[in-house]
Each structure stands twice: as C-alpha cells, then as structure tokens.
Amino acid sequence: MHGSHPSPPRLSTVEMLARLIGFDTTSRHSNLALIDFIRGWLDAHAVPYRVSHDATGGKANLHAVIGPVGPGGIALSGHVDTVPVDGQAWSSDPFVLRRQDGKLYARGACDMKGFVAACLSAVPDLQARKLVRPVHLFITCDEEVGCFGAQRLIEDLAQSGLKPALCVVGEPSMMKPILAHKGKLDLRVRVRGRPGHSSEPDKGVNAVFAAAEAITHIAAEARRIAREGPFEDGFDPPHTTVHVGTVSGGTILNIIPEHAEFVMEWRAIPGDDVRARLAALRAHVAATIEPAMHAVDPGTGFSYEVLVDMPGMALPADHELATLVKHLTGSNSAGKVSYGTEGGYYQEAGIPTIICGPGDIAQAHKPDEFVTVAQLDACEAFIRRLVDRLAT
C-alpha cells in the first residue's frame, strides 16, 4: 500500500467528473494516466491503495481503503473504461464535460465516471471521519470488453486479504437498487469446410451451409425458450435470450466456401445454466450437421471459442444490503436488469453485491451521453448515508 501527506485539496463531484472525462479511457487505450491522477488525489489525502495491472501492463485497477486497512466493510465499485465514440454524432467534444440545463454531457458521464467522481469527491470527508469499518474503493479497467479488470482485482483481493463484506456497483440505475442481472456467455463458432468448384458441390463441404444450419437451430431454440421458459419475473424479457450478432464466410461465388464463422451470445436469467446450453448446441451439431461433413472430409467440422463468460447476479430480496439500500434511496422495491455488470464476479467471489448508481442506462453508449446534476447530488447523499450506517 502507498500513501503520503501533502495539504489535502477538494474537488466537487462535478469538478472531479470534468477531470476524469478529460482522460480518453476508451477500452482500447491505456488508462494509466487516469490512474496516476487518482493516485495523486489519494496520496494528497493519505489514503492507502493497491494497484493491479493487466497482462500488458498498459492498464490498471486501483483498490483504495479509507478507514482501518483490513477486510470487511463495504466497497464502492466503478469502472473507468468507456465505449468508443467512433461514428457517433456528438454536439460537442465528448472528452470535455459540457453543462447545459442541469445535464452534464460527455463520454462516460453516465457510464460510469459520474459514480466514480462522486466517490473520489467524498474522499476528504470520509478520511476526516473516524471510521470503524473500512470503505473500499474499487476502480477498474476493461469492464466494457468483458469485465477483465474486475477479475484481475478479485485475484488481487485474494493476495491482499482485504476483501470487503459488501459491495455497491454504481452502474447507472437512476439511484434505484438493482438486485439481479442476467449472466452472459459470448461464443465464437468457426466452421471448417472443404473448398471446391461450385459446379461440383458433392466434392466439397460448404462451410456457409453448415453455419446456416447451426444458426437455424439457434434461432429455433431462441423461439422455444421465449415460449417455454424458464421464466423469472422482473426481467425484461423474463427469460434467457439467444442471439447471433455477426456471421461471415466464403470468398467468391463460384468457390465452395472453406471457412465460415459466427458470433453469438446467451443472456441467461440467474439459475439457468448456459454451459449446459452450450453443451447442448455442440451435441446437436455433432449429431446432425458434422456427420455429413465428415463423410466427405474428416478434417472438416466446428470449433468453439468462449469469448466472455460473465456470471449473473442475484442478491436475495431480504438480504441486509438490499434492505439497507432500499431504505437509503427511499425505494419501495428493487429491480432486475438484462445487462451485465461486474457485480456478478464480486458475488461469485463471495461478496454480496447490489447495483445502485446515478444516471439512466438508456444514456449509456449513445452520442451526447449525459448524467443530470440532480442524479449526482442524489449519489453524493447516498454515499454519505451509506457510510453513516455501515462504517461509523
């Protein structure tokens, strides 16, 4: 852990957000300049922290501990990578915070540098208090491309022994508690055929045809799940979904295509086993599509690459964290969402987790993304009330 003691500065949440926005932390870029800025802020307030890097060394997570340095307490977690702005029509520079009519426009303002800014702005006040239980700040990279930063941070928790007892992930939820989200498995399917002239189709193996047969089966499965379930109330839609997003293959029309590929996903309600669904897809292909391919050329067939395997999240409605966050936000109910977050990984690591953060998820990833000042104000108040209840 690191720390030093210059005279502590202060920044409002909006001022802090403007600083964070100024770093282009699109997932394809390094985030080290932003992490260095945060380290300087924490050093100025004598807050100790750990840094964990990705395999390239070009990106990092940060785990800070305010109060007694040890396990327990609560974590406030946010990612600082963003999706690209390429091809989007922005009304102003997406990396300069623009304030207009109570809204703050910039890439990442909503998803989710607004929450991170509120946490960092609160550091001086939290550090000045005599906390009896720690408040952990998790700041992660690579959420938008597979939650790889959170997975690396969890590895570091195992090394440090500084695992919090509870966690709030500040993804945009309009400051309403979210108890559950779907899991997600992304899969690349490659098909290897046998080339030949299109006038002699029986002498080759058409990889595009084989891929199309598999996709037809996947589409039928999607319709069957929508019709038969299993179902879970609160999700929209209330069942696991299956989707093929890209497909490619072949070279020119008069050559039997040797290669084809498609990328697909399952978004699964908690409790639905997507690994079993993947196994069922492989079994179907092996039984109904590959035998005819192998009869022509045993070297043909399908291969599968899991790109993302994101666990779902489900906090029991009667859990102390659910009750507390509902009380602190004034919400009578708690929701469920179909998008994924880092929360599933924290829960899988044994940290009960809830989602609650400023802004509307409908703004995420869009041009002219914004968060309202009122939402940031509500987030600031929530953080202080949460610390009042859990750490003092």
Active site residues: 81, 143
Backbone angles phi, psi at 86, to 5 degrees: -55, 130
80 CB-near residues (< 8 Å, 6+ apart): 20, 23, 25, 31, 34, 108, 113, 116, 139, 140, 141
Give the single-character DSSP code of 312. Answer: P
Distance of CA 153 to the CA centre of its chain: 14
Parallel/antiparallel/unpaired status of strands 335-337 and 178-181: parallel
Beta bridge partners of 50: 63
Is 328 strand, coil or helix? helix
19 CB-near residues (< 8 Å, 6+ apart): 11, 37, 117
Single-letter amino acid, residue 14: V
Single-letter amino acid, residue 185: L
Is 64 strand, coil or helix? strand
Tokens found for residue 377? 């104000």
